[in-house]
Amino acid sequence: MKPILEVSDLHVSFRSQDTEVKAIRGVDFTVGEGEVVAFVGESGSGKSVTFQTVMRLIPQPPAKIDKGKVLYGGRDLTKLSEIEMQKIRGKEIAMIFQDPMTSLNPTIRIGNQISESLIKHQKLSAKEAKERAIELLKIVGIPSPSERVEQFPHQFSGGMRQRAMIAMALACSPKLLIADEPTTALDVTIQAQIIDLLKNLQTKTGSSIVFITHDLGVVAEIADRVAVMYAGKIVESGTLDEIFYNPQHPYTWGLLQSMPKLDQNRDQELASIPGSCPSLVNPPAGCPFTGRCPHAMKICQEEMPEVTKSSSSHQVACWLQHPNAPEVKSPIEPERRWVD
């Protein structure tokens, strides 16, 4: 698969008066053409900051890109000027956000918000742009689009707003769509509708999608590949099946086990991960998960484990992979464990 986005050794930090938060601490990944990559992690794991950096949407200062490359179409996005970036945003890479309420401008009609980028990037006339906007609203499943196009965001419900956001993002047929927790603020029935919509659009247009979420259940529905982030690093990445049925990192084990299944035995206690995420003001020298890891060893405190490949697509950063490490059996059986 041809990579469309390549990020290597990205470091981002946030500075305030007397503290420095190292939000991203060396992130490497690629997104291939036409694939859906999910980034999973808890709040503060750096998953959103990573893609705000890719889009160059993080405010600098307080944020600072300390190191690293973001290659898109042969160009390093971290080095582009703001004007050049504006040509890429919306046209090449588009983004949809968690809260459709605040990401739409409440004073501008939906139609005008969609046509804005069409007029700017594709040099359409106002009339053509409006027709295209109606067409887009139809594609994302908004009923009676020719009336809706004249309405303001507050006249839309939450799910409809998210659909309108998707229409806006699709306006210039971007090659890469970054969806930052697009369903988190929505109810489950609406969430399912939006996921179906994104999947259908993806098969139709063949664009790549980066799906940022904290919900492994959503990941299972949509992703081809998964990257698990923790404390500003990718601790494990692999194909959907590799992460769900043959995970290698103790954090991934914990995440998968701490979610109750619909057919979970109720007499059994949920497996939980003790403690909470470490502070990134003074990140630990070793593996950030050491303090919460049931299999932590002395070395974990001292040095960050290197990335090991267990297959061409499966990468783990954990000392348990080292030949000298004791054998630890994964609590997740490498088979279809939830199927009766």
Report if residue 138 touches another protein, rule: CB under 8 A: no
- Looking at this protein, which amino acid is placed at residue 194? I
Q: Which of 292, 314, 315, 316 binds another protein (CB under 8 A)?
A: 292
Q: Closest by alpha carbon to 127, among 112, 141, 138? A: 112
CB of 55 to another protein, least distance (A): 22
End-to-end CA distance of the chain: 35
Span of 26-34, 46-54, 97-105, 276-284 interacting with another protein by CB under 8 A: 276-284
Report if residue 321 touches another protein, rule: CB under 8 A: yes
CB of 131 to another protein, least distance (A): 26
Q: Residue 185: which residues within 8 A CB-CB, separation 6 or more?
A: 98, 99, 100, 101, 158
Q: Interface residues for another protein in 17-36 (CB under 8 A)?
A: 17-18
Report if residue 101 touches another protein, rule: CB under 8 A: no
How many chain residues touch another protein (CB under 8 A)?
A: 77
Q: How far is CA 131 from CA 64, 134, 160, 166, in A?
A: 41, 5, 19, 17
Report if residue 114 touches another protein, rule: CB under 8 A: no
Backbone angles phi, psi at 336, to 5 degrees: -80, 80
Q: Interface residues for another protein in 149-168 (CB under 8 A)?
A: 157-160
- Bin 209: left if φ > 0, else alpha if -120 < ψ < 50, else beta: beta
The dihedral built from the CA positions of residue 100, 101, 107 and 111, taken in this order, carries a sign that is positive
Q: Which of 151, 193, 205, 330 binds another protein (CB under 8 A)?
A: 193
CB of 133 to another protein, least distance (A): 21
Q: Which of 83, 263, 312, 327 binds another protein (CB under 8 A)?
A: 263
| Sheet with 20-32, edge to edge strand ranges | 20-32, 3-15, 63-72, 75-76
Helix, coil or strand: residue 303: coil
Q: Which of 3, 99, 295, 330 binds another protein (CB under 8 A)?
A: 295
Burial of 233 (0-12, 13-18, 19+ CB in 10 A): buried
Q: Which of 192, 205, 310, 330 binds another protein (CB under 8 A)?
A: 192
CB of 213 to another protein, least distance (A): 10
In the bound state with another protein, the residue whose beta carbon lies nearer, of 140 and 256, is: 256
- Looking at this protein, which amino acid is placed at residue 99? D
Report if residue 39 touches another protein, rule: CB under 8 A: no
CB of 325 to another protein, least distance (A): 5
Q: Which of 215, 283, 310, 330 binds another protein (CB under 8 A)?
A: 215
